Structure 1
Amino acid sequence: MDKSLENQLVNAAKTVEQQLDEQIVRLDNLDSDDLKALREQRLRELKDLNSKKQEWLKNGHGVYTELAGEKEFFEVSKNSSNFVCHFYRDSTVRCRIVDMHLKILAAKHVEAKFCKINAEKSSYLTQRLRIMVIPTIALVRDSKTKDYVVGFSDLGNCDDFSTEILEWRIARSGVIEYSGDLMQPPDVKRKPRSSQPQKTIRGGNGSDDDDIDLDD
């Protein structure tokens, strides 16, 4: 494992442990007898959740990584119930914007696996998933593609959208947990979108609303 990735995993694990410790401290400070049972139940839930988070981290969650190829895409979709995959192209500037946000979200949402894959080297996948716009983020749950974030049209049609609005958009598919209002996007400052056209992949048919089973 490369040093940078190892450091990211260590930092993600520390964040998870810190969050758990903070919640336990808050619960320990409840001194009402009436809340004793609730506190004990919540502590059990937190410990169970922490076990899940540690298992997710062992499975490579918590960091944003690049898939080596199409075979690995299917392996991840089987091993991780919640999977966020960015189809990118090196020559597309907006893909680097997506990379920046997904790296932040990967560390925050260890319940999902965040990856990217080179669309130009994944012709079978792009055709099977009907991906024609780059960047496109495929949102996979239980080995089924549930949704797609296509370009920036759902993110305010601007290049300077916030990480929060992408988080909200991904959460609407159910692949990450979200404490806010899924019916209302977070307020963000938006700048007019530049005139640069979205990149397309030859042979794509566009995305639709039907789930695509990756086990077929």
Structure 2
Amino acid sequence: MKTNRIIFLSPHTDDSELGSGGTISKMVENGADVWVVAFSKCEKSIKNSGLTDSKTLVSEFHNSMDVLGVAENRRITLDFEVREFQRDRQLLLDNMIKISKEISPDTVVFPSKSDIHQDHSSVYLEAMRTFKNCSMWCYEMIWNNFGFDPNMFISLNSSQIEKKIAALSCYDSQKHTLKKGYFNDSFIRGLAVARGIQCGCDFAESFEAIRIIW
């Protein structure tokens, strides 16, 4: 299956890397036109954490995209308020429709229906409405997923996994999440190994393929 123009929808600045960083790297290497949209810069969370620069996560996001090879003119950051996506669902939909018309993707990747985070679930619902004529994949975030059912695997090499880890290491402001485990290098490699075993390769990322248009 050839994917020419693909958009990764990231509710917050680090979600696309966590769920599909290796795949982003692979798609870039394969010559696809890769876009990443981060809907929230999480400025409220930054302020609440005690950091003085509200733009910290935006800078980290761009550093992360540099590692993965996403061109600077293929990155979109929006200003939705963290944990308030449900309140702003119509505006979220309007922005997605605008992005769809401007980019015309053939594939869109976003959080799973089983993701219990309120912002992630809102992105899922509005993406389903907006991109119904595209191939749609949902990425895995097992700490949020209740009932994730992978039916599609992207095989990755060790370099792509290391790029995913390096991209996530750009988020210095999120180092406290190491206590939760999902920013941990061993966890990232271990999950990639487990998904690789399921599909007969060394490393992989898994997805729920909602619709494949080929």
Relative to the length of structure 1, the TM-score reads 0.29
Query: If you compute each CA radius of gyration, which structure gives the higher value, 1 or 2?
Result: 1
Bigger relative contact order (CA 8 A; separation at least 6): 2
Relative to the length of structure 2, the TM-score reads 0.29
